A and B are shown apart, each in its own frame.
Chain A
Amino acid sequence: MIKKAVIATGVLALSAMAAATLTFAQTATVAPTTSITTVAPTTEASAPTGAPATGRAN
């Protein structure tokens, strides 16, 4: 009777470890939640709509 109990306990323990290992294997493949945000550089500066009034300064 005790032998059966020991075997059953061993099987249960191994099952628990296998389940935990399986869980780890699944979570280990999940991409990290840390994301890198990149901002596109400004390629065109804002331009005025007309030439400056550079005559007859006050």
Chain B
Amino acid sequence: MKNKLLIVIITLGVGAGIGLGFMFSRTHNPSDRAMPASEGILLSTPQPSIAPGIPIAIVIPKINLHASVESVGMDSKGRMDVPKNANDTAWYSPGYKPGMSGSAVIDGHLDRVTGAPAVFWNLKFLSAGDDIIVSENNGLVYTFAVNRIMRYPYDSFPIKEVFGATKSPMLNLITCNGVWDKNSKNYSDRLVVYSKLISQK
């Protein structure tokens, strides 16, 4: 009788100890613990108040220019592509977007095969301080002010300067300039209008 009682007591004692220990371990398992609020904030994706947009229109009051903006990449030769329509401009979409830090680039034709003016025919008449207004498809409107106008030979075009990173949001406009070469079907120079962001609405 005493032996049986002894076995029962020992069994109950060991069982209680293991049970308590198990419960204690389960309720304090690090993988089961609630995530602190700070970690939740880090893991969550910030929700922008305005959807990311792309430029769709450009206005340059000084030369009475109102044009659509196409999105282009590179042509078969690796150059920045050009708008399909001579009345349109084109934004280089693999590069920077107008309004973000970096050099956003928009190009446009100087003329047509007939020699008639195209969208950027009057770009050469811009000067420092003139406004360039770019609208996006999300309603945002960026206004840039012309910094300087440069003319470069086609063969020594400063790619990095025109398309590269900058601390401030820049917008650079490109069109042809110089002399038309019938053989290469190319103008000798490029005109670049550099501008800097001055306001955003």
B82 within 8 A of A: yes
Task: Give A27 to B81 CA distance when docked, in angstroms.
Answer: 59
CB contacts (< 8 Å) of B30 on chain A: these are 27-28, 30, 32
Whole-angstrom CA separation of A58 from B174 in the bound complex: 18
Residue interface mask B67-91, A partner, CB < 8 A = 1: 0000000110111111100100010
Q: Which residues on A sit within 8 Å (CB–CB) of B108?
A: 54
Assess the A55–B109 pair: CB atoms within 8 A: yes
Spot the interface stretch: B46-54, B111-119, B135-143: B111-119
Q: How far is the CA of A43 from the CA of B111 in the complex (A)?
A: 35
- Contacts across chains A and B counted by CB atoms under 8 Å: 160
- CB contacts (< 8 Å) of A36 on chain B: these are 39, 42-43
Question: Chain B nearest CB: distance from A23 CB in Å?
Answer: 6
Contact A48 B185 (CB under 8 A): no
Q: Is A40 an interface residue (CB 8 A)?
A: no
B144 close to A (CB within 8 Å)? no
B120–A47 touching, CB < 8 Å: no
In the bound complex, CA of A41 to CA of B112 (Å): 40
Size bin of chain B's contact surface: 35 or more
Contact of A56 among B17, B92, B113, B163 (CB under 8 A): B113
The answer to whether B159 and A50 have CB atoms under 8 Å apart is yes
Q: Which of A4-49 contact B (CB under 8 A)?
A: 5-6, 8-10, 12-17, 19-21, 23-24, 27-28, 30, 32-34, 36, 43-49
In contact, A55 and B80 (Cβ under 8 angstroms): no
Give the distance to chain B from A17, nearest Cβ to Cβ, in Å.
5
Residues of A within 8 A of B95 (CB): 45-47
For B24, give its contact among A9, A21, A47 (CB under 8 Å): A21
A5: which B residues are within 8 A, CB to CB? 5-6, 9-10
Q: Besides A16-B21, A53-B82, A57-B82, 9 other CB < 8 A contacts?
A: A12-B14, A20-B18, A21-B24, A27-B30, A48-B80, A51-B159, A52-B75, A55-B180, A56-B112
B residues with CB within 8 A of A: 2, 5-6, 9-10, 12-14, 16-18, 20-22, 24-25, 28-31, 35, 39, 42-43, 74-75, 77-83, 86, 90, 92, 94-96, 102, 107-113, 115, 118, 120, 152, 154, 157, 159-160, 163-165, 174-176, 180, 185-187, 190
Residues of A within 8 A of B (CB): 1-2, 5-6, 8-10, 12-17, 19-21, 23-24, 27-28, 30, 32-34, 36, 43-58
